[in-house]
A and B are shown apart, each in its own frame.
Chain A
C-alpha cells in the first residue's frame, strides 16, 4: 500500500489520511498489523458510502464476486469542512496516481534526485516515489531558483530556447505533458518585444506512468529491479542586459520497480 509511506507527508501539511475499502474490520486489523499501517482503514462492507459518494463502477464484473459493488479507485483531497479541493480518479483503475504524486502536486518536496548549481540558477530534482509499481502514475519535480536579475524563457518564447524537460524514450514509461507555472511577460524595450519568462523560484512537474508491459512481456516486478529515468532540461537564461548561450543539463532519476502488495 503506497499510501502508507506518504501518511507522514500529509500529516506534515496538516492533512489527515483515511482509506475506504470493502473488507470487514477484522481483515483490516490483520492487514494493518502485518504491514504496520498506522492510519485508519475504514470498512464499507455494504458499499453504502461508495454509493452515497456516487463512485460505483457500473462496468465492474468479477467471476469470484458476482454482483459485487465496487468503487472507482481514487482519491479526494478535502478541506476541514469536507469541500473537495482536488480529486484524482482515472477511468482505468489499473493506472493510478500515487499518493506521493498528490503530495508533490501540493508543493511537498519529492525524494532522491540531484542538485545542480549553474552561474544563473540552482536546480534540484526529485521524484514523488522511489519505488514504483506497474500502473502507477508518479511525478518528477524540478525546483528551480533563478539568481537575481536572471530569467529563463518559458514555452512560447519565440527566438529563444524555451525551458524544455526532455525525457529519453523507453518502452515502459509513458510520459505525460510537462506542467509549468504561469510565466511572467517580460517586456524588452530595445526590441519592442514581450516574451514569457520565469524568474525567482518555480517548479516544473512531469507525470510518468510505469507500464505493465514491456513490449509483449510483463514488466519485471523483481523486488530489486532498478529503473533509471534519464533526460535533460534544455534552457536559455538572460539577464537584463545579456543573454547566455542555450544549455542542457543531463538529468537522472533512480527508482526501483516493485510489485503490488497482495
Chain B
C-alpha cells in the first residue's frame, strides 16, 4: 500500500516512516503550460511557429496604411484573419 493511501486512512496521525527528504518542498514556482500544448498539431496553414510572417501593408478603417511596424507593440502583434468583419 502506498504511503499516501495509508495516511489518508489514519489521519491526522503523523507517520515518521513517511518523512520525506528535507528541503524539497520549497522549489521555485512552476511555469504555466506552454501554449503550444493547446494548439492543433495537424492543421497548420500559413507561416509556422518560428517563421517570420510575410511583410504586409493595408489600409485601416481610417484609410491609414498599416504594417507590422506600425501595428506592433513592444512584445509583438496579435494578428487576426477573418472572412468578414461581422464574424
Contact = CB atoms under 8 A, between A and B. Distances in A.
Bound pair (A, B):
yes
Interface of A: 1, 3, 10-11, 13-23, 25, 27-29, 31-32, 37, 40-44, 49-50, 52-55, 60, 70-91, 93, 99, 102, 105-107, 139, 148-151, 153, 158-160, 179-184, 186-191, 193, 198-203, 205, 207, 236, 238-246, 260-262
Interface residues on B, range: 35 or more
Interface in B47-73: 47-56, 58-63, 66, 68, 71-73
A201 B80 CA distance: 32
A105 B50 CA distance: 18
B81 A20 contact: yes
Per DSSP, are chain A's interface residues mostly helix, strand or loop, or mixed?
mixed
Interface of B: 1-5, 7-8, 11-12, 14-22, 24-33, 35-40, 42-56, 58-63, 66, 68, 71-87
A220 B45 CA distance: 32
A41 B2 CA distance: 59
Contacts, number: 311
23 contacts: A14-B76, A15-B73, A16-B72, A21-B85, A22-B83, A25-B63, A28-B60, A42-B59, A50-B81, A71-B82, A77-B79, A78-B76, A78-B77, A80-B74, A82-B55, A102-B35, A159-B1, A179-B33, A184-B30, A200-B28, A238-B7, A240-B20, A241-B14
Contact of A151 (B25, B36, B38, B51): B25
B79 to A, nearest CB: 4
Contact of B78 (A99, A149, A187): A99
B75 A52 contact: no
Contact of A18 (B19, B25, B49, B79): B79
A77 B76 contact: yes
A99 B79 CA distance: 10
Q: Which 3 A-B pairs have the closest CB atoms?
A: A159-B2, A243-B7, A14-B75
A90 B40 contact: yes
Contact of A236 (B4, B14, B28): B4
B76 A19 contact: no
Given A16-B71, A80-B75, A181 B30 contact: yes
Nearest to A49: B56
A199 to B, nearest CB: 5
A174 B58 CA distance: 37
